[in-house]
Structure 1
């Protein structure tokens, strides 16, 4: 239960030029959950105080009902995207007659549609509702993955890869946007990590699953690498159908929450959004552009672009890198060698956001993700010793994947409205996948077996992330502004439409 709490005075909040005023008290979180009510005063202070034990119980319930479904869907989303790397060393190139840069072109075609549909997909997710949209696109990419088992030439493979990008475009931003409806700013980073950790887990589990599948003689009339796409596609379709029944769109429609818990869930989110009278606002073009053009969105998206050059490069080319390090091992053994680095990556993908949750900061953790990656790629460039290069893959995976939850949480925390949040997250992930497109051309056939150009590109990308993340830590605090003077004469709707331009809003590092 929330206790009645008087709003703090404006002293020290509006900084210069503010008068000392008190906002009216809000009795409980039921009032704060109602439409037309704000849960903050004009200076951004929460008007509602929450019982920590009630919040903890609610968070445990949300974690139980929301996170497992989206995590499993994202696991197979990433597997269905990256299993082409496992299929490559199992004979895909030979069977499809791929030559020269054909394999790189297949990877690029996926990213073309993935990038084009990123922001539109997240806007559609808001319009349709994530409880329906996420299961629908999951069903779509599961069917497309299954169809990949039946392609026989480059053109057919290119067609299904393009469709795969269309359906998968909405997954990462859609889930991040979906969870932002339920969790506070500090809590969100760790919850995002609980599904984004499935990316490195897909590398580990995907390698194990591919090894197990390839050990079969056949799957129906399908043999060899085709079994990877068929079996994994069928699993995805099954999970998607189940998710239509398990994903709840928003707190108001959650049958598994009591009315008191629904009120608490809504009030908690509103208490961090200055001037917000409703958690789910109507679609608005101005707010969509506010989310995209936020300085924090733009800078974080650029860092995420650079980070994804290394993340996607590792995902697609880890099996190939392992094969160059251990060329005499069997195909199944090579698949298994890709697993341990991803297990280490999964651990740190959870650990670093957990620290971020405790400290309620993301930017400093982003800075800390870069040094080990720089060392790892320096080792790739500086030595050809197989054991040293294999050790370098552990350094890379220990830091690369944590940028996903940190970056998405950062752009979510630095806009106010639900509409701006949907476009900001979409923009961030779109830029990230431009980095994925670059990654498809970072390891070219003639650059092997040591790939100095690919490794050099990744070293440069990570070094720039370190520079940009450090520079943007010195962000604009917007102190010295008079909240009352700037808001004078504005209607409640006009104040709400200011979003991150509201004078009481502060960038959150």
Structure 2
């Protein structure tokens, strides 16, 4: 990595002159120093590839495990339902849907504040900390005895789980540039469908036990899985590195390269981790791509969370004569297919540095799956079971793709944290809707739930096409803008606060 710090004088001199004209001598020095660093990194592709591989090995496993545990602790209530949870608590009518809904109410309320707290505290402490708490709450859920207590604990579970998915997405944006981010996000998002599959396998294994301590039946699912979460989260305090500068496993040259990889994408940026800035927070949320992508995530989350919570219920209507353990096992394969296609779609997005068109294709596949279910009769068991595979294949990648798209189309670290938080917050409104999409009276055809998912997929197709057209046209318009004229009279801070309105900013498709 000896070539890393070698200067490219002509390029640096051009940057110096350009920024003196725009910002003045003092502020230009800071930008030029960044320009030197970001220019040098492009000369050593081998060093960058080695660094990327090293980050993958040290960062991804811990966050993937935390998200897997989070997802299991969220959806295991679907497995518990098959094991008698509703019957023992005396739940009737829509009580089960209510228990699911309060989780998402908390999730939505605390999404943006949690991501702001993640930036303030630091992901290295924040992410393991909230994981320990929601693990403890999962254990507590094993001892609920009535609807009110169940709703209370699920609400608290939503409070503490709300920070994990957007927090990890924000955390990974500290390590990876935009073209690499979608696939790395998929490496933890894929733990959602894998955990959904594993949750069914784990529940079927746990239910074979006579008891675990003082817990029996469905209670064992929560107590055992909660203990596993707490144990792994405590270990994460020691394995999760907050940011490149504090990574003991990186050399100084590697730390500089890691920072330069991020900085070179950020228009007018002089630092990777900026302080809180109200204007940047607002611009991160009021970004047209953030708003559009968040709507897409809202719509697809109706499907994703519906699959997560109700697949065991749907499988029970397809194979009503099977044993509970058999029904649990039948709920596993659709999640595995969803996991495979998550990696496939995000790998394509990484290869071509395109996310919007991949979401368009995923929405079409999802719509086909629900059209299959709606067009079949209750006796067409193989077709209906196959439809659950198609729906899962098209939908699970959106969590990674949407967060990557939002992250790619903001500039500063502060804007990124607010944009990702807003994206996931709006997305989880879809999760709230999903809790009421599969209602008891609507089985076994579930025309309301499946029709809603089909309609959502269709709307996503429309949004994705319109967004693709608008981003291309706006980039063409920006090419005709005189950046020097627009920036005249702006100091460095004012130029940074422009965010996506900066004349040199370009939308990333």
TM-score past 0.5 threshold: yes
Contact 2:193/2:338, CA 8 A, preserved across alignment? yes
CA distance in 1, matches of 2:309, 2:63: 23
Equivalence for 2:24: none
Distance 1:441 1:504, change over 3 A: same
Rounded Cα–Cα distance in structure 2 between residues aligned with 1:247 and 1:41 = 30
Gap change, CA 1:430 and 1:336, over 3 Å in 2: same
1:329-376 C-alpha deviation (Å, 9 max, x unpaired): 000010000111111111111111111111011111111101221111
Is the CA contact (8 Å cut-off) linking 1:193 and 1:402 kept in structure 2? yes
> Post-superposition shift, 1:390?
0.4
Look up the SS of the partner of 1:490 in the other structure.
coil
Q: Is 1:151 aligned with 2:144?
A: yes
Contact 2:104 2:431 in 1 (8 A): yes
2:448 is matched with 453
- Correspondence for 2:433 among 433, 438, 444: 438
CA distance in 2, matches of 1:7, 1:156: 68
Deviation at 1:492, TM superposition (A): 1.8
Q: State the distance in 2 between where 1:411 and 1:448 align.
A: 37
Deviation at 1:41, TM superposition (A): 6.2
Residue of structure 1 equivalent to 2:502 = 502
Contact kept? 1:7, 1:46, Cα under 8 Å: no
The residue number in structure 2 matching 1:417 is 412
- Contact 1:117 1:170 survives alignment (8 Å): yes
SS in 2 for 1:410: helix
The question of 1:231 aligning with 2:234 is answered: no
User: 2:468 maps to which residue?
Assistant: 473
- Alignment partner of 1:22 out of 14, 19, 28: 14
Contact 2:16/2:32 (<8 A) preserved: no
Aligned equivalents of 1:197, 1:236: Cα separation in 2: 18
TM-score normalized by the length of structure 1: 0.93
Any conservation in 2 of the 1:111–1:434 contact (CA below 8 Å)?
A: yes
- The aligned counterpart of 2:283 is 290
Deviation digits for residues 54-108 of structure 1, max 9, x if unmatched?
0111011101111000000000100000000000011000001000000000000
After superposing on structure 2, the runs of 4+ consecutive aligned residues of structure 1 that deviate more than 6 Å are 39-42
Please tell me whether the aligned partners of residues 41 and 48 of structure 2 are also in contact (alpha carbons under 8 angstroms): no
Q: Following the alignment from structure 1 to structure 2, what is the Cα–Cα distance between the partners of residues 463 and 503?
A: 34
Matching of residue 138 in structure 1 with residue 131 in structure 2: yes
Q: For residue 22 of structure 1, report the CA deviation from its aligned partner.
A: 2.3
Question: How far off is 1:501 after superposition?
Answer: 1.2
Tell me, in whole angstroms, the C-alpha distance in 2 between the residues paired with 1:274 and 1:98: 55
SS of the counterpart of 1:357? helix
Contact 2:8 2:39 in 1 (8 A): no
Offset, 1:293: 0.5
Runs of at least 5 residues in structure 2 that lack an aligned partner in the other structure: 18-28
Please report how far the alpha carbon of residue 489 of structure 1 lies from its aligned counterpart in structure 2 after TM superposition: 2.3
Q: Work out which of the residue numbers 86, 96, 104 in structure 1 matches 2:97.
A: 104
What is the rounded CA distance, in whole Å, between the counterparts of 2:158 and 2:68 in structure 1? 16
Contact between 1:39 and 1:276, CA under 8 Å: does it hold in 2?
A: no
Higher helix share: 2
TM-score, normalised by the number of residues in structure 2: 0.93
Aligned counterpart for 2:7 among listed residues 4, 25, 41: 4
2: CA distance, partners of 1:38 / 1:487: 17
Gap runs ≥5 in structure 1: 10-20, 26-34
Secondary structure of 1:23's aligned partner: helix
2:248 and 2:40 map into 1 onto residues whose CA distance is 27
Distance 1:189 1:6 in 2: 34
Q: SS in structure 2 opposite 1:369?
A: helix
In 1: Cα distance, 2:155 partner to 2:257 partner: 42
Name which of structure 1's ranges 429-438 and 478-487 shifts more when overlaid on structure 2. 478-487
The residue that corresponds to 1:306 in the other structure is 299
Counterpart-to-counterpart distance in 2, 1:295 and 1:311: 24
* Map 1:183-198 → 2, pairs under 5 A: 183-198=176-191
Equivalent residue for 2:383, pick from 378, 384, 388: 388
In angstroms, what is the RMSD of aligned CA positions? Answer: 1.7
CA distance in 1: counterparts of 2:462 and 2:8, whole angstroms: 43
Q: Map residues 74-89 of structure 1 onto 2, 5 A cutoff.
A: 74-89=67-82
SS in 2 for 1:370: helix
How far has the Cα of 1:36 moved from its partner?
3.5
The Cα offsets for residues 248-279 of structure 1, whole Å up to 9 and x where unpaired, read as 11111111100010000001100111110000
Q: Distance in 1 between matches of 2:387 and 2:45?
A: 43
Evaluate the alpha carbon distance shift between residue 156 and residue 441 of structure 1 in structure 2; reply closer, same or farther with a 3 A threshold: same
